[in-house]
Structure formats: C-alpha cells, structure tokens
Amino acid sequence: MSAPAKTNTVVAGRPGRARRLGREAALCLVLSALALLVALLVIGGGDYPMGPGQVLKVLLGGGEGLENTIVLQWRTPRAVAALVFGAALGVAGAVFQSLTRNPLGSPDVIGFSTGAYTGALLALTLVGGSFVATSLGALAGGLLTAFAVYLLAWRRGSHGFRLILVGIGVSAMLAALNQWLVLRAEIEVAMAAAVWGAGTLNGVNWSSVLPAILLIVPVLAATLAGGNRLQMLEMGDDMATALGVPVEKTRLLMIVLAVLLTAATTAIAGPIAFVALVAPQLAKRLNQGAGLRLVPAACMGALLLVTSDLAAQRLFAPVQLPVGVVTVSIGGIYLIWLLAREGRTGSR
C-alpha cells in the first residue's frame, strides 16, 4: 500500500514544480524585457535624443554616419555595462544572502565591495592608476577581504550570522583606511577616487567594459551552475552533507565566485551600493516566496541598475549623477521598509 502512496506524492509534486518553474520563467522574461526597454531609453537619451524604435533600428544595422557613432560607440557600452553589472551584482547578492540565510547578507554590507575599493585605491595612489592596475587592485582587494572575513568567521565552519558581523567590522576598518588614502592622495587623484567611489557609469567605453564582461560572463555562468548546490545548503549543513554536497568547499567556491563578480564590477564602475542587497529580495517577493533563485536575481539586478542609470542621467540633466547616488537612495528606502517590517513582525 505504501508504494502507490509514494507514487501519487511524486506525481502530485510534478505539477507544482512545473508551475513554479513556469512562473519563474515568466518572471525572468518580463524583467528581461523591461530591462532591455529601459536600456533602449538609456541609449536614446542625451543631447542627440532618439526614440526606442530609432535606437533599435541602428542596433540592427539600419543606421548610418553620426547615428552609428552615437549609438554603437558612445552610448551602448554604458547600457551594456548597466545590464551586465546589474546582473552580476544581483547574483552576488543572492549567493551571500543564501549562504548567510539573512536578507542583509550582501557584498556591500559584508565588506567585499569596500575591500575591492581599497585595492583599487591602493592602485590609484601607489601605482599610478592605469586601467589594468586599478582592475587588478580591485580584484585582489575583494578576494583578500573575502579570505580575511572567511578566516575570522571560521569556528568549525563559517556560519551566516558570524560572517555578517565579522564582515561589518572588517568593512568599517577598510572604510576608515579608504578615507585616509583619499585624504593622503594628490588632489586630482582624490577627486577622481571620490567620484569613482560613489559608483558611476559615466564615461565608460568598450575598451573598459569588454575586459570586465569577458571575466563576468564565465564567472556568472559558473555561479548559476552552482545554484542547485546552493539550494541544498539552504536546507542546512547536515542535510546538504547527507545529499552528498561538500559543504565547506561549496561554500568557499560560491564565495569566491560572488566576490569575483563584485570585484569585476567595482573595478570598472566603483562600489555601486545596494543593488546586491535589494535585487535578490525583490525577485524573491515577485517570485511568490520561491526562495532565493539566482536567475531572477540576475534579471532584477539588471533592471534595477539600468533603471537607476536612466534616473541618474535624466533627473538633473544635463548634469549626470553617479548611478551609485540613485542606488543608495533606493537602498535606503528598502532598508527603512525592511526594518519597519521586521519591527512589526517582531512585535506580534
């Protein structure tokens, strides 16, 4: 009698899984379409305005002369950077929030973005600030910070809450070091570091964006491939071990991949705050509580950053704000809402 019951349970579970996957696919499709539409608006804005249809025509090869130069060489790199960097930050945030099992567990809160900024600042002030030196400095800073936080948080394993607390402490120390480096730098370097440190896509071009994309895309693919193991870790270390997952190796690998995504973005655009924090949680809520899924987090991150960049361009035109100013404002609103919600839940 037990065998038919088990079969019925499995069969009954398949439609639920199919519905969940279908809902997730539809959500990703809608978010991706919105992100691409906003990207067309980003490309079409500026002193030479163009409509989405005109921009799409140029992108499909129907433009000529000045239009090709404006769209393909000047504006498209910025839109592509917003989409790719937003996706990278969204996935990195989802990885850390899943590993720490805490909605506050993101690279900017734990300190990995700050560490990448420290590495870039050291390259700017000590080596001269070439693109290669700054990029390598950001990567090294992010990875070394992650290694330090992981070791300091280790107590027979790296548990989420301790990882967050250690990360916040390390982030505060690095933020103080960053302030000192900026104050000690030459005035030109300090001004450039201050603007870049706010998180900006102003002035990006293909020569700076392409190397970052060539690093981010394979790392992003590897991170998405590890999504199933990440979900097993969410069930607890004991359950994941019983399912054959090497817990600490998987955790360390996912941390390294997420830090690489964060550091590669920081190397080009600076530490763009709160996208990694907000995007996974918004995607989770739109996905109707299906858990922290990496692909929806990537799509939401891309939409969030490209929309923030559109606002940064248009709010005070012709002055263009650093996109980090907009994401910080969004993140502040999100944190206030989260704290108010947690307060209401805790008072019941």
The encoded tokens of residue 17 equal 């899984």
For residue 50, give Cα distances in angstroms to 58, 74, 77.
10, 14, 16
Helices (H) and strands (E) counted in the chain, each on its own, are 16, 0
Ordered domains of the chain (ranges, CATH): 78-342 (1.10.3470.10)
pLDDT given for residue 3 in this prediction: 47
Q: What is the DSSP letter of 45?
A: -
Q: Which residues contact 122 (CB under 8 A, 6 or more apart)?
A: 137, 141, 181
- Can you tell me the distance from the alpha carbon of 133 to that of 137, in angstroms, rounded to the nearest whole number? 6
Q: What angle do CA 205, 211, 216 make, to 5 degrees?
A: 115
Q: How do the pLDDT tens digits run along the chain, 348 residues long?
A: 444 444 444 444 566 667 777 888 899 999 999 999 999 999 988 778 888 888 888 888 877 778 888 888 889 999 999 999 999 999 999 998 888 888 877 888 888 888 888 988 888 888 766 777 888 888 888 889 888 888 888 776 556 677 888 888 998 999 999 889 888 888 877 887 877 788 889 888 898 899 889 999 999 999 999 888 888 887 777 787 887 888 888 888 998 899 899 988 988 888 898 899 899 988 988 887 656 789 999 999 999 999 999 999 988 878 888 999 899 888 878 778 777 776 666 555
Contact present, 87 and 301 (Cβ < 8 Å): yes
Q: What is the pTM of this model?
A: 0.87
The encoded tokens of residue 292 equal 């922290």
